[in-house]
């Protein structure tokens, strides 16, 4: 069930920018990464938490969103395994899935933060 927002088109556009950014960073040959071992797992976790947290503010069908983002994370890792410059990683899949769960938890703790921002901008 969609949430009523005054600037819905803006929030949807920003949400799709997030999705496209995650896809790009998942499939680009050399994504930006600090020189710290396994730091990419934190990036995966935060990226998918951001996706779930953002889209859950726009649409309240959390189970559907969670499933879509888990499938997106799995498909990005599978797609990487078909390139000659990236490798799919089971631990990245786990980090993506945990990120979806973290985003869901965040929305449970702060369920209306985007609506409050939207109302403030509309006033």
pLDDT of residue 96: 98
Give the burial string for 20-52 (b: 16+ CB within 10 Å, else e).
eebeebbeeeeeeeeeeeeebbebbbebbbbbb
pLDDT tens sequence across 8-43: 999 999 999 999 999 999 999 988 877 787 788 999
pLDDT tens sequence across 60-81: 899 999 999 999 999 999 999 9
pTM here is 0.92
CA 21 – CA 123 distance, rounded (Å): 30
């Amino acid at each position: 069930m969609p949430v009523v927002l005054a600037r819905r088109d803006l929030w949807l556009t920003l949400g799709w920018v997030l999705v496209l950014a995650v896809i790009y960073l998942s499939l680009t040959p050399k994504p930006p990464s600090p020189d710290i071992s396994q730091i990419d797992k934190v990036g995966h976790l935060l990226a998918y938490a951001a996706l779930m947290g953002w889209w859950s503010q726009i649409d309240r069908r959390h189970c559907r969103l969670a499933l879509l983002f888990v499938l997106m994370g799995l498909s990005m890792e599978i797609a990487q395994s078909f390139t000659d410059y990236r490798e799919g990683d089971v631990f990245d899949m786990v980090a993506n899935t945990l990120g979806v769960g973290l985003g869901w938890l965040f929305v449970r703790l702060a369920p209306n933060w985007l609506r409050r921002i939207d109302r403030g901008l509309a006033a």
